[in-house]
Amino acid sequence: MSDPLDGDVRFENEGTLEPLPVVRERTVVMRAVGLTKTYAAVAGKSGSGRAALELFRGLDLKVHAGEMVAIVGESGAGKSSLLHLLAALDTPTAGEVWCGESRLSSFTPRQAAEFRNRDVGYVWQFHYLLPEFSALENIAMPLLARGMRSAEALEKARFWLGEVGLGDRGENRSGELSGGEQQRVSVARALVTEPRLLLADEPTGDLDGKTAEAVFSLIQRLHEAHGLTSVLVTHNLEFAERCDRVLKLREGRLTDGRTMGPGRV
């Protein structure tokens, strides 16, 4: 019997059907659904207490693989609080945060700690390096904390030290480095675990203009070079505009924040 595919086979609809549109769904790395966060009222003597504070009301967020998302908003709008929820550092009053197939609110404290160690790289406004330890040891710390052999952890730390342009400063105690260099070390520490998501809370907020530009450009370059997925909180609108998306946190919701002029919020 002859092979039907051997020779000039024509399919019935060939050439007559419109090609189907190709729908490419981008992978969602992190998803927040209907988030509400309320801080309880604090009782105080003679009126010094505070009423309950509702920060978010049904807040939704999707972060796609490879995106660099900026979150802006006035002081006190809740930007840091939102990042804490995304990093499983805190739990929402209502709503859910998902990272891939994991629902953060179902984590035990141990699972939350593992999630923070393996899936999230966090850069704080202040570097929080341990001043008595070398730059290399500081970078290796998250790997050592999960029980990786010291030689292997230090080798990975050396790679990331080079990536942040400090290849020759590894043996310096972190306390001997400048503010900008310390923040670069903290970026390397956040990335040494190759996390699924980089979260940065005003990573340039504590630096002068020129150093802030250098650290932001470094994060941007690493984001592109390593295909990172990043969410950055910033008051610097020029940096925000250089991200793929700008979201403004206002009155408990996220809205498109691209419409603002230059300056700070």
Contact 187, 218 (CB under 8 A): yes
Question: With respect to ligand ATP, which residue has the nearer C-beta, 55 or 129?
Answer: 55
Question: With respect to ligand ATP, which residue has the nearer C-beta, 78 or 142?
Answer: 78
- Among 16, 48, 75, 108, interactor with ligand ATP by CB under 6 A: 75
- Minimal distance, residue 190 CB to ligand ATP, in Å: 18
Look at residues 206, 256, 192 and name the one whose alpha carbon lies nearest to residue 236: 206
| Identity of the amino acid at 240 | A
Residue 73 binds to ligand ATP (criterion: CB under 6 A)? yes
Q: How many CA atoms lie within 13 A of 10 on its CB side?
A: 5
Residue 236 binds to ligand ATP (criterion: CB under 6 A)? no
Burial (CB < 10 A; 0-12, 13-18, 19+), residue 210, is exposed
Q: How many CA atoms lie within 13 A of 191 on its CB side?
A: 24
- Binding residues with ligand ATP: total (CB under 6 A): 11
- Among 29, 63, 68, 78, interactor with ligand ATP by CB under 6 A: 78
Question: With respect to ligand ATP, which residue has the nearer C-beta, 87 or 222?
Answer: 87
Residue 36 binds to ligand ATP (criterion: CB under 6 A)? no
CA distance 216 to 233: 12
Place of tokens 């990272």: 99
- Minimal distance, residue 104 CB to ligand ATP, in Å: 17
Residue 77 binds to ligand ATP (criterion: CB under 6 A)? yes
Using CB under 6 A as the binding rule, the residues of this chain from 188 to 207 that contact ligand ATP are: none
Any idea what DSSP says for residue 126? S
- Minimal distance, residue 112 CB to ligand ATP, in Å: 16
Pairing of strands 245-250, 253-256: antiparallel
Residue 76 binds to ligand ATP (criterion: CB under 6 A)? yes
Contact 244, 62 (CB under 8 A): no
Site of interaction with ligand ATP (CB under 6 A): 39, 53, 55, 73, 75-81
